[in-house]
Amino acid sequence: MLQVKSKYKIAKRLGAGIFEQTQTQKFALSEARSKNTKERRGRRGGSDYGRQLLEKQKLRYTYGLSEKQLSNYVKAAFALKDPVSALYRALELRADNAVYRAGFAPTRRASRQMVSHGHITVNGKRITIPSYSLHKGDILAVREGSRKSGMYAQLNDPEEAGSIRKTPWISLDPSVMRAEVAEVPTYSAAEAGVDYPTVFEFYSR
C-alpha cells in the first residue's frame, strides 16, 4: 500500500481531487488564497516535463499506487489500440477502486484495507488482493460475516444508503451490500480529473 505522509501538502501541489479528505470547502478556500498569493508574485509557467510529472503524480496518488505499479499499468496499456482508455479502465476496475466507487468505503485507502482484510467477495469468492481486476458482470459484495461491522453503517441505514454517491458503471443494492459491474468504465477527461495523454507523454520520454 502506498504510504502518504502529508495528504494536505500533496493535495496543495497536485490538486484537492486526489484525496477524498481534501475535497472540502475549507481546503478550497485555502487553495484560492494560495493561488492569489502566487499570482501576485508572478508565478512562472512550468516546463513540459514539470506538467507531465504533475499529471503522473496526480494519477499515482489518486489510486494509491507505487511508481512501479503505475509504470506496469502504463506499459501494459501502451501495447493496446487505445492506451488512454485501456489505462483508465484497468485502474477503475481494480477491486479496491470498485469497492470505493460502489460506496462500500468512504475512501480508496479504506477500500484497500477492506479488500486486504478479506471483507469483500467477487462472484461469491473471498478476495484479499486490492489490485484484483474486475470485468463486466462481476458481482462485488461485502462478506456475510462482515456485514454487521460498523464500517458498513451507511449501508445498514436506509436513509444513509440513499445518499451514497452513484457511479454510472456500477449497479448497487445497498440492502444486501451487493454491487454489479454493469458496464465497462469509459474515459472522460472532464470526469477523470487527470490528463491521461500527458501521463503517457511522461512515460514516452
What's the confidence (pLDDT) of residue 205? 84
pLDDT value of position 64: 94
More confident of the two residues 43 and 154? 154
Residue range 96-155, pLDDT digits in tens: 999 999 989 888 999 999 999 999 999 999 999 999 999 999 999 999 888 887 776 666
Contact 37, 172 (CB under 8 A): no
Task: Express each pLDDT in 166-192 by its tens digit.
Answer: 899 999 998 889 999 999 999 998 888
pLDDT at residue number 52:
95
Query: What is the pLDDT, as a whole number, of residue 19?
Result: 58
Q: What is the pLDDT at residue 145?
A: 86
The pTM of this model reads: 0.77
DSSP 8-state assignment for residue 143? -
Contact by Cβ (8 Å): 115, 127: yes
What domains sit in the chain, N to C, each tagged with a CATH number? Answer: 47-185+196-205 (3.10.290.10)
Q: Which of 88, 55, 39 lies closest to 203 in space, CA to CA?
A: 55
How do residues 75-92 score in pLDDT, each as one tens digit? 999 999 999 999 999 999
